[in-house]
Amino acid sequence: MTGVLAGFWVVWAIIGAGWLMARLRLLGEGAQGVLSRLSFFVASPALLLETLSKANLAAVFSSHLLVIAASSTAVGLLSFAVFRWLRGRDLPETLISSMSSAVANSGNLGIPISVFVLGDASYVAPLLIFQLALFTPAYLLLLDGTTATAKPGAARVTQFVLPVVTNPNIIGSLIGLALAATAWTPPEVIMQPIHLIGGAAIPAMLMAFGISLHGSRPLQPAHGRRIDTAIATGLKILVHPLIAFLLGRFVLGLDGHSLFAAVVATALPTAQNVYVAAQRYERGIVVAKDTVLITTVVAVPAMAAMAAFLAA
């Protein structure tokens, strides 16, 4: 338990450093974008490649993947029903609110949590692959079909397939998995630069998050979406990991660190690309933005509480 809390402390300390840099304006206005792009396009793929090249494939594609897929789908369906029929939102806004409830930040916060709290970045690989290859494209396909952005035929296929196959994190993960499957280790002269570049991923991710928290003001009364945001936040931070816990513990028989890893993966905050999707389709922007911010702030304390509960 002490090691878990120490891991959370490291995460919050680096986030705090990013917030302080933003407050002191040390890096200028574009710092968050630069750090995020550095992490997304360069450092994070390198980290995933190196980590997964040494991973046990049976552990990566284990019951964790099933827990993540089943719990995410369950929360997605539940949230869709709540926002569509209880809150009376139209289909596009319902889909964005459902994404806010079910799509986790597997990259910018998932990787650091996996490293510092779970002890191995490979724990986040099932979540990252499931979301980027299946879950998020399914939501975007539905949004495309329910808004004025729909494209016919091959253009629609390209619209959703291309972002998946060109995603740097997917590419890095697939190369790492291929190396693990073949048991081939590239020469040190190749792996050493990858190792050094990958080392920049976690600090860049967390400091970018800290910068993004400075000056944000969620839950403005004029927006009229406080209840929706509260529902999406509760589903993401409480209901999603609860479903994962019940599935993992009582259906698949997981326990100990294995169960904790599955629960933590689903307790991650709402992914920032949900807000990007909301902007793209011009629906649910307020709920997406506020849920991303609030879940990012409360997720780490919530996961620390889950760690204490599971350790009891």
Which stretch of 68-72, 112-116, 188-192 has the lowest confidence by average pLDDT?
A: 112-116
Predicted structure pTM score? 0.75
- The pLDDT confidence band at residue 156, using thresholds 50, 70 and 90, is low
pLDDT of 13 reads 84
Over residues 263-274, mean pLDDT: 86
Q: What is the domain-level CATH number for residue 195? A: 1.20.1530.20
Tell me what the pLDDT averaged over the chain comes to.
82
Number of folded domains in the chain? 1
Over residues 223-231, mean pLDDT: 84
Over residues 281-304, mean pLDDT: 84
pLDDT higher at 218 or 130: 130
pLDDT of 164 reads 59
Q: What is the pLDDT of residues 232-260, one digit of tens each?
A: 999 999 999 999 999 999 999 888 888 88
Which residues constitute the domain of residue 27?
Answer: 2-311
pLDDT higher at 251 or 130: 251
Which stretch of 28-42, 69-83, 88-102, 217-231 has the lowest confidence by average pLDDT?
A: 217-231
Phi-psi region of 164 (alpha: psi -120 to 50; beta: other; left: phi over 0): alpha
pLDDT of 91 reads 92
Q: Taking 70 as the threshold, does the pLDDT of residue 108 lie above it?
A: no
Over residues 62-80, mean pLDDT: 92
